[in-house]
Structure formats: C-alpha cells, structure tokens
A and B are shown apart, each in its own frame.
Chain A
Amino acid sequence: MEKGYLSIVLHAHLPFVRHPEYEDFLEEDWLFEAISETYIPLINVFDSLAADGVDFRLTMSLTPTLIAMLTDPLLQERYLRHITRLIQLSESEVERTRWQPQFHELARMYRERFNNCKYVFETKYGRNLVLAFKKFQDMGKLEIITCAATHGFLPLMELNPNAVRAQIAIAAQNYEKHLGRPPRGIWLPECGYYSGLEEILKQYGIKFFFTDSHGVLYGSPRPKYGVFAPIYCPNGVAAFGRDLESSKQVWSAQEGYPGDYCYRDFYRDAGFDLDYDYIRPYLHGDGVRTNLGVKYYQITGPTDHKEPYVRVRALGKAAEHAGNFMFNREKQAEYLQSIMDRKPIIVSPYDAELFGHWWFEGPEWLDFLFRKLHFDQDNIRPITPMEYLDENPKNQKATPSLSSWGYKGYAEVWLEGSNDWVYRHLHKAAQRMVELARNNNPKNPTDGLTLRALNQAARELLLAQGSDWAFIMKTGTMVQYAIKRTKDHVNSFNALYGMINEKRIDRKFLEDLENRDNIFPELNYKVYA
C-alpha cells in the first residue's frame, strides 16, 4: 500500500509566434525546436510506457497558444520544412564524420531522431500533435489541463475582471474544441494567483489549479498539511502547492540533475561549431549562425574543453537520477506520513520544455522514473490532482495567498524597470475592449466587417497580454522582438478601436491582421461584455 502520492506536472507553453508575412522567421524556431526536442520525445515516452503496460500518471498543460500553433496548417507545413532540412543535414553529417567513430555514431543518432520526428509528426499523428496528447488523456494516463488563453499574468490583470474572465473563458472554449471535453484543471500562467481568481475559474468548471509553495503555505487559515495536501478555496476549487525539494532536484543550476557532466551540453551546437559555408544552407535567410539542435559534446565539467557525448553513459545517468528521485520521494512520503494523519501528495511541476530541449535526457529520465515507480516499489503512487480529489474529497478550506513561481515569488519578474511600461497600455486596451463589447451589437448581417473587427480587436488585446513579452524584456534575449510584439498588438488594438467607433473599418488592415494573428477563430468578442 502506498505511503504517498506523486503528481508530476509539466507546463507546456510557447507564445503565439506565426509570421506568414515572412518566408521564414527566426522566432518560429521556438516551436520547431520544442516539437523535435520536447513534445515528440515526450509522446514517444508515453507511447512506449503504454506499450509496456506501465501505469503512469502525468498532468500536463497545453496552453491555448501552443494548441493554436500545433494545429495551424502554415506552421505544420513549416515544421515539415524545418525537419526535412535537419534530416538532410544529419545525412550529410553521417558522411562527414565517417572517420571519427564517436561523432559518426552521434550523427547517426540525430539522423534517426530527425527521421523519427518526421514520421511521428506527419505519418503517425497526421501533423496534429494535440491529438497525440489527447490519445493519452483518453487512455486515462495523462490529465491535460488548460492555461489562460494567451498566458496573461493574471495578478496584474485583476483590475479588469472582464479581461481575466475572457482569458479563462477563451481558454476553456479552446480546450473543449481541441480535446473534446471541458478542462478540469488549469495551470495559472507563471503560477500567478490572486485571491478571488477562483470565482472566475469556477464559472468555467475548473476544479483545481496550482500555486507555488507559499501560495498554499501562506494561505489563511493556516493549512494543516502545508503543501502536502491541497486546500479548497472558499468556493470549493482546489489549490495544490508546489513541493520545493523535488523541484530543486531537477531545477537547481547547482544541484540539479541536468547539470551532470555526462549529459549533453546545450551550448555546443553544430550551428556554431561547423564550417560556415558548409552549415549555411541550414541557417535562416539572414545567415546568422543559430543553434541547429545537432550537438556532439557532453557538459564534461567547468571547462571549455568538451569531450564528445556518449549516449549510453548519459542514459545510464538518467536511470541513476530517476532512481535517486524516486528514493528521495519515498523517504519524503515515509517521513511525512509519520507526522500527517493522511497520505501526502508531492506536487512537482516543471516547464515541459526543460525536458529534452534544455535537459536532453529529461524525457528518458521521466521514462525511467515511471518504469521504476511502476515495477520497483509500492511506497509512492503517481496520481493526477483529479484522481487525488476523487479519493480524498475532504480537504481543508483556506484562501491561498497571492504568489507566483517567478524569482522572489511574486510579480517582480513581470513588473520591473524593463517592462512596467506595458501595463498602462494593456489596462487601457482591456478597458476599451469591455467598452466595445458593451456598446456594439452588430446583428445586421451586412455588418460583418464590424463583427470581424470586434473579434480581431479581442485577439490583439489577448496577444498583447501574454506574460512572455514582459518576461523576455526582463531576461534580455530577443528583447526587441518582445517590445515590437507588445507595441504592434496594442497599436493594432487601438487602431481597430478607433475604426469601430468611427464606423469606418479599413478592410485591408483588418484582413492583414486576421491573416497573421489568426489565433482562436472561434472567439466571440461578447465574452468581454
């Protein structure tokens, strides 16, 4: 009989980046790399666990922006172009490295991986990876949860409840459209919670969400079991708190598993290492060297001299680390059970893109972990939050505390000198959107243009609200792109607002926006009223 539960949560998210106006676009690589290095490897792990009868449980968010991109025909087409190019590169690499056995073996590994990506993407799942994840949800192994529509950081949106409601309503609608049933849980963007948010969540049938540790731990009244049991908000929506120890084992730059010297080095990439003329055909149009995802070295140590990556040894480490993680959870549960009068739940959330993209061996680590949990022990049972609540319906009532999982635990990452200027504009646009929704009611069928402009205005607002832009402005990579996206969406919104009020909509302008920012075709602007 188990002593406790383990709930692993992966938050899969990328901002909406789609630029039909360009032949190719650097930032679209975010999606393509995540598909090849994270989403497909995870799907392969799930497939292999299911095939081997491993009864795994995992909770995973697929954010509405990610779903929109994964189901978009243009981006699907471009992913195929991207992976086809990588297959060509890997074939060429297999030839080039023929006299270097260690590299040759790795080149063959990449060739096999890229071909597998193409097969899984195109043939096995018909270009729609959302259906792949849905398959595991339908099998009862995976609980897919939603997220706010465009990953808006909700504590800084609280001022305008209609804007928050729209983020949730559109997310729930998007989820149901692609996954065939309403969402039961949500990953709050950046784990950002403010008290009262649960009222809106409940309206859309959401039964649970997650906070960082202090969100639950600092809840009031004082939560008896700390983060090791969920609390019910006064309205009955459950909040699960993050376990810090298990987070640290994976996340921490110093102590975390991904820093092991045997693992693949993220920074050494063929895109930078190989002869320019040779690599040029695989780079973007501007010819700037970028990572290509063909990486031959292991972390090796705190040195610039890197040794070639040895796959077998790295996989051995991943198995060892999975065993270590499981052992620690067993000890943790054992100890907790001695001071709790119920079985603890250990909630371990991670960014999905950590697995595979950053920590190359991460998907294999998950694979080993679930196999070991299934075959090697009885102390810990993997569980989804929904299953936990079904088995343990009685939980303490308390209101969580405002919190996020960002640096220092509150709003500072998204509200500091580099990005605080966005809120004046985001709030104004949200206020104007509510005004538009209340004042316009185009029923006349000849007024299709106004209706379209209203819906597009909502899309522009939503896209401007994504927390990713503020995050990028703070962290300092691709800053210009984030600033431009914010300004363009706000300015486009304001232009539409003016056109709708003046009753003179520029059709071409609207069509260009609709063509580019085509997220949520099902959206109805009335959600803001």
Chain B
Amino acid sequence: MKKSVLEKLEERELMELAQKLGISVRKGAKQPEIIKLIKSAQAALTPPAVKPRAKRAPSAPETGRSAARQHAEAAQPARNSSQQEVEESKFYTGAPPEEFRLPSELPYHYGDDRIVLLVRDPYWAYSYWEVSQKKLEIERGNLGRAGEDAYLALRVYDVTDVRFDGQNDHGHYDIGIYDRVGNWYVNTGMPGRSFIVDLGLKTQDGRFVTLARSNAVRTPRDSVSDVLDEEWMVPDSDFERIFALSGGLSALTGASSADVRLAGGGKLPFGIASPGMGSLALMSPVKKKQRAFWFVLNTELIVYGATEPDAKVSVQGRPVPLRPDGTFTLRFALPDGKQIIECSAISADEAETRCITPEVSRSTKVS
C-alpha cells in the first residue's frame, strides 16, 4: 500500500520527496531505485509506536488532490523528534493531510540562556533575558545549600572604556528579579558611558553566579561634547550663538541667545518635532476627533420619476441620465429657501413634451 502511493509519483516528484527526507539520490536515478531508497529510509525512521495510527488511516489518497500536494502538506516542521516521526508516518500511510497552520501566538521563549541590553536614551537601557530551567537547576545545585534560596538578579556593570573581564568594572549594582524569562528597564543614569548586565543567581550571603552576560552598550551623550578639534576651533561665545540657533529662532529674534547656556547640560527642546505625529498617525482612515455633545441635522430632497426609456429628461435645465427602464432618481442637499424644480421630458422623436415643476421650500428654526 505504501509502495503503491510512491509508485503513483513521477521521478521528479520522488526526487523532491527524497530531498525533503534528507535522502541523497544520484542524479538520473530511475523510479524503482528512488522508491527503494525512500522505503529503506522510512523503515529506519518509522518507530513501532506509530503503527496503530497507520492502521486507522489505511487508504491511499481519497481526495482529488494530487499525491505530490499531499506529501508537501504533510511535510511540516517538527518541534521534536517524536513529533517528527509521527508526521513522517503520516506521509507513509497516506493519512489525510492537515493544512499547515500558523500559530497565533509567539513563542514564550527560545530555550536559550541569554540576556540582551538595548539603549533607550541617555539614562535608560532595556534588558530582556531568558534562562532555561535546566541551567537554573544546575547552577543552584553547584551552589549547594546556598543555592536553595538564591534568587535571580541582574547585575549592572559600568564598563566604560574597559575590556570587561568580569572584575574590572568601574562599579556595579544589582536588581532582584523574579522570572527566568523577563525584561526590565535599567536606570543606568549616566549618559555617555558603557554598560553590561549579567543575569545571575544571588545567594543570601551575597555571592553572585553569572548565568548569562549581555552585550555591551553605550548610552548617548545628552549635551555637547567637551572634545574640541584644533582645526575646527571656534570662540565659545560664537559657539553658544550657533548652539542657540540650532535650538530655535526664538534665540535669534530676541536678545535671549545669551540665556541659552552650554553650562547646565545645554539641553535642546527635542520632541517638538512631530514625527510623534508621523505619517501613520495621519493615515488612520477611521480616526475621528472626539468632541463634546453635538447634534447636526440636514435635509435632502429626492426627486424621482419615470418616462419612456428613450425620452430625454432634464431637471433645472440639466440632462438627467435614465435607467434602462426609463426611471430616474436625483438627490439634492436642500438648503433653506425656495427651490423651483423645472422638470421636462421630451419624446425620442421630439414630438411631445411634458413639463412638471414642483416647488419646495425649507425654513429652519434652531432653539
């Protein structure tokens, strides 16, 4: 039965299948040879445990879809070896294929022992991490009795301008955490310096065992650099003016440029900028501004009628297109005041004319 499924396939399809199964087939191999290779590979892979399943789905492809398509659908990613085996067996028995379905949620973690550090701004970094249960247990075990009540912690090192070896930091502090898969905003507090964070186990008596070490990051400056280039020197007073201008025209029009000091950080009013209001914020097609209680009322007038399909109709002097059955509908916003609506129909041979002229008036009171 299994073989019969394979025998229905063409050489090209068999080659592809062999490829999927990781079987190397010599170029130009004929059908029986490839089938033999596939079958022997299958024999090596199929565990006895899946045999009952094969019995439940005994028949060859029942649907109208091609066998090759079914094979392709059956070839799904395996999360572990037993699942892989089950899925492989599915192909060999010709079980009804399942559509590959994308999970709707993301993985909770990836089975790594890893911590990553990202810069958010001159004062803050963001860290996320994961450590496997296994690694955690081993490290706890290594700590002996102290490992039992050791807790997870982040150790934040200032490693500015050093090649960090675990010891030579300029200082560090610890943050207790709870989850082996988690994240934390780290208040580094110092612009223009470099940091590394260790995820570790901390014992009650203060020992710290590193489980994972992050990449190094450098927080940006939040003021002008003190480093000067001799070739590009400028008097401080001139630079202060340039700096003030870089911050806004207010400094130019007023006499206030001297108020903007480099000392005290020399901060600029960033964030005026609106890209806070970037294109996408503008693009949202259903956004509607909130407003207080409101009430609007409008009136429209529908004028409709019918005549011979080949007649010519005009309303207020403008031609009106007719539907194939000779009917027509017009819709007008109706403002206050009087509307005289002259409507006429002229027969196709222009021998006959009819005029109908309704008058409509609207007046509105608002209270």
Binding site for B on A (CB under 8 A): 13-15, 26, 29-30, 33-34, 92, 95-100, 103, 155-156, 159, 190-191, 212-214, 217-228, 241-245, 247-248, 251-253, 266-267, 272-273, 275, 278, 288-291, 304, 328, 331-332, 335-336, 339-340, 351-354, 357-358, 396-398, 401-403, 405-413, 415, 420-421, 423-425, 427-428, 444, 446-447, 449-450, 468, 471-472, 475, 477-478, 487-488, 490-492, 494-495, 497-499, 501-509
Contact = CB atoms under 8 A, between A and B. Distances in A.
Interface stretch (B2-10, B197-205, B241-249): B241-249
Contact of A244 (B246, B289, B298, B318): B246
Interface stretch (B132-140, B264-272, B345-353): B264-272
B276 A499 contact: no
A421 B277 CA distance: 22
Contact of B21 (A228, A242, A504): A504
13 contacts: A213-B247, A222-B224, A244-B247, A248-B249, A335-B245, A351-B282, A353-B283, A446-B15, A477-B284, A490-B106, A491-B104, A504-B20, A508-B73
Nearest to B294: A304
Contacts of A332: 245, 249, 252
A95 B249 contact: no
Nearest to B251: A245
Contacts of B278: 351, 471
Interface residues of B, number: 100
Given A33-B285, A159-B215, A406 B275 contact: yes
B76 A499 contact: yes
A450 B218 CA distance: 40
Which of A352, A358, A477, A487 has the largest count of B CB atoms less than 10 A from its CB? A477
Contact of A222 (B226, B280, B318): B226
Contacts of B282: 266, 351, 353-354, 357-358
B255 interface: no
Given A212-B273, A415-B118, A508-B100, A304 B287 contact: no
Nearest to A405: B275
B334 interface: yes
Contacts of B100: 495, 506, 508-509
A100 B333 CA distance: 7
Nearest to B292: A304
A413 B280 contact: no
A-B CB proximity, top 4 nearest: A498-B77, A504-B75, A220-B225, A409-B270
Given A504-B21, A505-B20, A30 B339 contact: no
B220 A491 contact: no
Contacts of B294: 304
A245 B283 contact: no
A288 to B, nearest CB: 7
Contact of A340 (B106, B242, B252, B298): B242
B246 A506 contact: no
A407 B238 contact: no
B229 A409 contact: no
Given A328-B249, A446-B19, A499-B75, A494 B107 contact: yes
A490 B238 CA distance: 51
Interface stretch (B121-129, B142-150, B163-171): B121-129
Nearest to B278: A351
A96 B246 contact: no
Given A398-B229, A506-B72, A96 B332 contact: yes
Contact of B285 (A212, A291, A403, A490): A291
B44 interface: no
Contacts of A408: 121, 270-271
Contacts, number: 305
Interface of B: 12, 15-16, 19-22, 69, 72-73, 75-79, 84, 99-100, 102-107, 110, 112, 116, 118-122, 126, 128, 130, 183, 215, 218, 220-229, 231-234, 238-239, 241-243, 245-249, 252, 268-289, 291-292, 294, 296, 298, 300, 316, 318, 330-335, 339
Given A96-B331, A241-B246, A397-B229, A407 B271 contact: yes
Contact of A491 (B103, B284, B288): B103
B116 A423 contact: yes
B239 A503 contact: no
Nearest to B91: A504
Contact of A155 (B119, B231, B245, B331): B119
A487 B104 contact: yes
Nearest to A193: B220
Contacts of B231: 396
Contacts of B73: 506-508
B221 A218 contact: yes
Contacts of B241: 339
Contact of B224 (A218, A409, A504): A218
Given A353-B283, A424-B128, A402 B215 contact: no
Contact of A100 (B183, B296, B335): B335
B220 A218 contact: yes
A99 B339 contact: yes
Contacts of A223: 232
Contacts of B296: 273
B333 A228 contact: no
B242 A221 contact: no
A428 B110 contact: yes
B242 A159 contact: no
A413 B273 CA distance: 13
Contact of B126 (A217, A218, A251, A415): A415
B69 A30 contact: no
A209 to B, nearest CB: 16
Contacts of B316: 98
A29 B285 contact: yes
Contacts of A492: 102
Given A99-B335, A222-B229, A248 B280 contact: no
A396 B232 contact: yes
Nearest to A501: B77
B334 to A, nearest CB: 7
A512 to B, nearest CB: 9
A409 B269 CA distance: 9
A222 B225 contact: yes
B268 A214 contact: yes
A526 B123 CA distance: 37
A420 B183 contact: yes
A470 B142 CA distance: 41
B121 A475 contact: no
Nearest to B275: A405
Contact of A26 (B15, B285, B298): B285
Given A92-B331, A214-B270, A425-B106, 20 more contacts: A98-B316, A190-B275, A217-B268, A224-B229, A224-B234, A267-B288, A290-B285, A353-B283, A357-B282, A407-B273, A425-B107, A427-B116, A428-B110, A447-B19, A472-B280, A498-B79, A503-B22, A505-B75, A508-B73, A509-B100
Nearest to B105: A487
B284 to A, nearest CB: 4
Given A218-B224, A221-B225, A339-B241, A275 B280 contact: no
A65 to B, nearest CB: 12
Contacts of A272: 288
A339 B318 CA distance: 67
A475 B234 contact: no
Contacts of A213: 246-247, 268, 270
